Structure 1
């Protein structure tokens, strides 16, 4: 009886709410990443791992510094990439690249 009821509830819930695959709807936009951004992200992840395993003041401070440095590196790289893209699109050849 419980199995039938649970099956019925799951069936109605999937019909009403739908079923997802469990993954992101769209991939990350990483075409503008360069070596500096990748290194900064790698350093930040390493600092987070240290903080996760040993939560002390020194590790927290290192993680905060790495987090700020990563944000700065991402912002600069993204700005340069988009600036170059906009300059390229403003040319005659770039107008043909717009779909």
Structure 2
């Protein structure tokens, strides 16, 4: 379910859809719809990691990996690419992959990622926001 999720750009609506899909899968694995169990009870019985937490962790780890890479791989080039006009389209622009990283770690997040201890502690706080329902994504 999370294959390739470290490269996805998220907003609250997409995270909600993924959480709904996870709950439906857990319910299908464990009980029938007629059992009328609460989602929390089903989740405690399956003990599956919350999908939003897992996606946040994967994205944070991938961002650190990309920021620390020193060779000229395409991931770094795509991340640093700027449009020719220098501006995004008129109106509300779609969320970029790095927008939530900038919001949480600052505009210099690529330099912060080089300090692994600091990046790891920031990553724990980033994932905890997801657990508490305040989606950083």
TM over 0.5: no
Bin for the TM-score computed over the shorter chain: 0.3 to 0.5
Q: Name which structure has the greater RCO, CA cutoff 8 Å, separation 6+.
A: 2
* Structure label with greater radius of gyration: 1
TM-score (normalizing by structure 2): 0.29
Q: Which structure's residues are more often helix, by fraction?
A: 1
What TM-score, normalized by structure 1, do the two folds share? Answer: 0.36
